């Protein structure tokens, strides 16, 4: 390394702590909200504690509530003390971290407030050496996204990508789901954002992608030589993806009523699990290559489901008992309309029409108030071509299943048939288990920590690109439109069960059954 080449830091060469963060400011919109106090501030504190963030790193909160810098620091301290995974809080680390916390009060459509924000950011650049590098994190209600983006652009607080090349710093914007309500609103939101930010500057957050076990899907598939050769239509009979929650609305009725299970979970989290399971190997682990392959999967979903009424089910939970406690029906939940048609459960059968997956159905189901909280991807393999043990009293062979559990009990289980010891030929399905907790122990970092660090480092691999997002909305719109057109009824299911009978029928028509998890 020649010291004449100072475009890279020679002291970084060879270091394994891969992601190095340039000095920057993170502006959090919705700074007094729940997401900021539960997730963002604790994650930033833990990053400062364990990585560490550069000394210049600065947090600026913006919200409507009138607060002084010190008020916001106090609020941040309380939030971190309550919600940080590392306890107790280090006074020394907090002392220097808190010196980089500021607050700017204002409405999200108030031009003057954004001009004050721009002045504050310029001042921080000057005083703390943050070099004009800015991340704008939108932890607000989605209806403010467009206004905030426009104001950031108009006020000059956010800068176009050309300024980075000029050495004047970079600007990035991080947006929480939901990104739109349907295809049209997502396109409109993207158009609004695009007036202020280039696609490379937009980081669409799906915190599922920050989970270690979700990232491990790629390692499992492409880091081992034994699975990829059988990862196709020749060996796989079908795939089941389940995201089950045992809880109800938990105070989120206002949002959930307008979203339902299909927008809340299927459009984003489940599409990510689907694409990671079905994608082709990317040419490298860079953002563009991974996202290109995910997009191809979404592009291979047929634009119109052939028999949408038969291939999807929507349902709501009725009243009943969970764990011995009476719970209300969905329509009886506070904030839910008595005649609501919003689904708390959705199941859908998808076909990926490409060379690898032709004829292999993917069954997806998600819902609230189900039997237990579990997220898994189950690969069911085809039976052996010749039933060798027929007539020996062995009974029917169970199909081999590879299940990847995302949460809880993160791990991988392979179910296969084994002979029961004894003189007779009895077969029994047995499990070969790998549990993360048993093998590695420890507590993995929070998904937010990983994703915030990636956004600061400019690594967009674990964020969704606009074409992925729009492709997922296209699918969801198709299903929702079909529900409307067919006036298909909203089925009911008892809380604490695995969903409605109609969902069982959906999969049984193909000769399969849902896994009992």
Partner 1 sequence: MTTPHVPLRPVPVNGIETGLSNLWREAAAGSLAAGGTVVARNCALTLVVFTGVEGNASSVVREVEQVSGQYAMRAIVLRSLGHMPKDTTVASQIGITQRDDQSGSTHGEVIMITTEPDQATLLPGTVLPLILAEQPSFLLWTGEPPWRSDLFESLVDGCDRLIIDTSDSRNAEKALVALNDLQRRKHNACIVTDLNWTRLSPWTELMAQFFDTQDLRPYLGAIDRLTIEYAADTDDSIGNSAQAYLFAGWMASRLNWETSGQPPAPAAGGGRGHTALGNGVRIQIELLPRPGVPQGSWLDVLGKRRASDGSFARSSPGIGAISQVGFGALMSVHVHAKLNGQDGVFAIAREQDLWHASTHCSAGQVYPAHTVSLGALGEMFSIEQQLRELYPDQLFEESLSAAARILGPHGVRRTP
Closest approach, Cβ 446 to partner 1, in A, equals: 12
236: part of which helix (H) or strand (E)? Answer: strand 236-244
Which of 323, 443, 511, 516 forms a contact with partner 1 (CB under 8 A)? 443
Closer CB to partner 1, 18 or 325, in the complex: 18
CA distance 253 to 258: 9
Q: Does residue 86 bind partner 1 (CB under 8 A)?
A: yes
Q: Does residue 88 bind partner 1 (CB under 8 A)?
A: yes
Kindly list the distances between the CA atom of residue 188 and the CA atoms of 140, 148, 151, 206, 466, in Å, as whole numbers in the listed order.
18, 14, 17, 20, 12
- Quickly count: other Cβ atoms within 10 Å of residue 96's Cβ: 13
Q: Does residue 431 bind partner 1 (CB under 8 A)?
A: no
| Residues in 315-354 at the binding interface with partner 1, rule: CB under 8 A | none
CA distance 49 to 159: 30
Closest approach, Cβ 126 to partner 1, in A, equals: 10
By CB under 8 A, the count of residues binding partner 1 is 57
Q: What share of the chain is helix, strand, coil (3-state, %, to 5)?
A: 40, 20, 40
Q: Does residue 223 bind partner 1 (CB under 8 A)?
A: no
Contact characters 263-282, partner 1, x per CB under 8 A:
--------------------
Closer CB to partner 1, 14 or 324, in the complex: 14
For residues 411 and 433, the answer to whether their CB atoms sit within 8 Å is yes
Q: Does residue 93 bind partner 1 (CB under 8 A)?
A: yes
Closer CB to partner 1, 59 or 503, in the complex: 59
Q: Does residue 372 bind partner 1 (CB under 8 A)?
A: no
| Residues that are catalytic | 269
Exposed / middle / buried, residue 312 (Cβ in 10 Å: 0-12, 13-18, 19+): buried
Closest approach, Cβ 353 to partner 1, in A, equals: 39
Which of 227, 435, 485, 489 forms a contact with partner 1 (CB under 8 A)? 435
Q: Which stretch binds partner 1 (CB under 8 A): 347-355, 391-399, 442-450, 458-466?
A: 442-450
Which of 55, 156, 320, 361 forms a contact with partner 1 (CB under 8 A)? 55
Which of 18, 66, 91, 304 forms a contact with partner 1 (CB under 8 A)? 91
* Residue/partner pairs of 508-514 with CB below 8 Å, 24 or more apart: 509/310, 510/238, 510/349, 510/361, 512/237, 512/238, 512/361, 512/363, 512/380, 514/240, 514/242, 514/363, 514/365
Closest approach, Cβ 456 to partner 1, in A, equals: 12
Q: Does residue 224 bind partner 1 (CB under 8 A)?
A: no
Name residue 176's beta-bridge partners.
205
Sign of the four-CA dihedral 476, 302, 484, 242 = negative
**Which segments of 333-489 are extended strands (E)?**
345-351, 361-367, 374-381, 401-407, 411-419, 427-435
Which of 26, 28, 41, 48 forms a contact with partner 1 (CB under 8 A)? 48
Q: Which stretch binds partner 1 (CB under 8 A): 21-29, 385-393, 412-420, 487-495?
A: 21-29
Q: Cα 469 to chain center, whole Å?
A: 12
Over the range 443-481, which residues count as b (16 or more CB within 10 Å of their CB) and which as e? eebbbbbbbbbbbbebbbbbbbbbbbbbbbbbbbbbbbe
Q: Does residue 409 bind partner 1 (CB under 8 A)?
A: yes
Q: Does residue 1 bind partner 1 (CB under 8 A)?
A: yes
Closest approach, Cβ 444 to partner 1, in A, equals: 8
| Residues in 464-503 at the binding interface with partner 1, rule: CB under 8 A | none
Closest approach, Cβ 483 to partner 1, in A, equals: 39
96: part of which helix (H) or strand (E)? Answer: helix 91-98
Q: Does residue 421 bind partner 1 (CB under 8 A)?
A: no
Kindly list the distances between the CA atom of residue 424 and the CA atoms of 113, 387, 390, 393, 399, in Å, as whole numbers in the listed order.
80, 17, 13, 8, 21
Q: Does residue 376 bind partner 1 (CB under 8 A)?
A: no
Which of 39, 73, 128, 269 forms a contact with partner 1 (CB under 8 A)? 128
Closer CB to partner 1, 88 or 338, in the complex: 88
Over the range 379-404, which residues count as b (16 or more CB within 10 Å of their CB) and which as e? bbbeeeeeeebeeeebeebebbbbbb
Closest approach, Cβ 517 to partner 1, in A, equals: 17
Q: Which stretch binds partner 1 (CB under 8 A): 47-55, 362-370, 415-423, 451-459?
A: 47-55
Half-sphere exposure of 491 (CA within 13 A, CB side): 20
Query: Residues interacting with partner 1, by CB under 8 A?
Result: 1-3, 6-7, 9-17, 20-23, 48-52, 54-56, 85-93, 95-97, 99-100, 128-129, 131, 409-410, 433-444
């Amino acid at each position: 390394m020649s010291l004449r080449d100072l475009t890279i830091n020679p002291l970084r060469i060879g270091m394994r702590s891969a992601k190095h963060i340039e000095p920057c400011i993170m502006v959090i919109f919705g700074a007094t909200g729940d997401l900021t106090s539960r997730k963002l501030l604790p994650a930033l504190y833990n990053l400062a504690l364990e990585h560490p963030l550069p000394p210049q790193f600065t947090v600026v909160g913006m919200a409507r509530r009138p607060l002084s810098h010190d008020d916001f620091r106090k609020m941040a301290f309380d939030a971190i003390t309550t919600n940080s995974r590392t306890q107790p809080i280090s006074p020394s680390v907090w002392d220097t971290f808190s010196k980089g916390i500021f607050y700017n009060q204002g409405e999200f459509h108030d031009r003057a407030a954004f001009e004050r924000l721009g002045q504050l950011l310029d001042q921080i650049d000057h005083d703390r050496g943050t070099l004009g590098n800015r991340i704008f994190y939108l932890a607000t209600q989605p209806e403010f996204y467009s206004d905030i983006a426009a104001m950031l652009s108009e006020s000059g607080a956010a800068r176009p990508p050309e300024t980075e090349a000029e050495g004047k710093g970079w600007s990035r914007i991080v947006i929480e789901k939901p990104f739109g309500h349907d295809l049209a609103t997502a396109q409109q939101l993207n158009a609004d954002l695009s007036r202020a930010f280039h696609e490379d500057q937009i980081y669409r957050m799906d915190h599922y992608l920050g989970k270690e076990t979700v990232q491990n899907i790629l390692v499992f598939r492409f880091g081992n030589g034994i699975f990829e050769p059988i990862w196709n239509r020749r060996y796989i009979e079908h795939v089941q993806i389940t995201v089950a929650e045992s809880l109800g609305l938990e105070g989120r009725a206002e949002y959930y009523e307008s979203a339902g299970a299909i927008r809340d979970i299927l459009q984003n989290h489940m599409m990510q699990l689907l694409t990671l399971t079905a994608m082709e190997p990317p040419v490298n682990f860079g953002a563009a290559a991974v996202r290109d392959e995910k997009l191809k999967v979404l592009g291979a979903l047929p634009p119109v489901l052939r028999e949408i009424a038969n291939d999807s089910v929507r349902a709501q939970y009725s009243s009943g008992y969970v764990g011995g406690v009476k719970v209300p029906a969905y329509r009886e939940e506070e904030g839910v309309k008595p005649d609501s048609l919003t689904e708390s459960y959705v199941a859908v059968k998808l076909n990926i029409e490409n060379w690898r997956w032709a004829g292999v159905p993917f069954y997806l189901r998600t819902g609230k108030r189900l039997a237990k909280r579990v997220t898994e991807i189950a690969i069911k393999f085809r039976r052996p071509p010749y039933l060798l043990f027929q007539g020996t009293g062995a009974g029917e062979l169970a199909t081999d299943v590879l299940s990847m559990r995302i949460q809880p009990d993160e791990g991988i289980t392979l179910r296969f048939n084994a002979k029961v010891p004894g003189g007779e030929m009895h077969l029994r399905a047995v499990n070969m288990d790998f549990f993360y907790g048993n093998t590695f122990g420890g507590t993995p970092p929070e998904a937010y920590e990983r994703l915030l660090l990636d956004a600061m480092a400019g690594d967009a691999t674990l964020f969704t690109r606009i074409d992925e997002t729009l492709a997922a909305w296209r699918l969801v719109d198709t299903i929702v439109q079909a529900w409307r057109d067919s006036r298909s009824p909203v089925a009911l299911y008892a809380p604490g069960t695995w969903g409605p009978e109609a969902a069982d029928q959906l999969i049984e028509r193909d000769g399969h059954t849902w896994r009992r998890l």
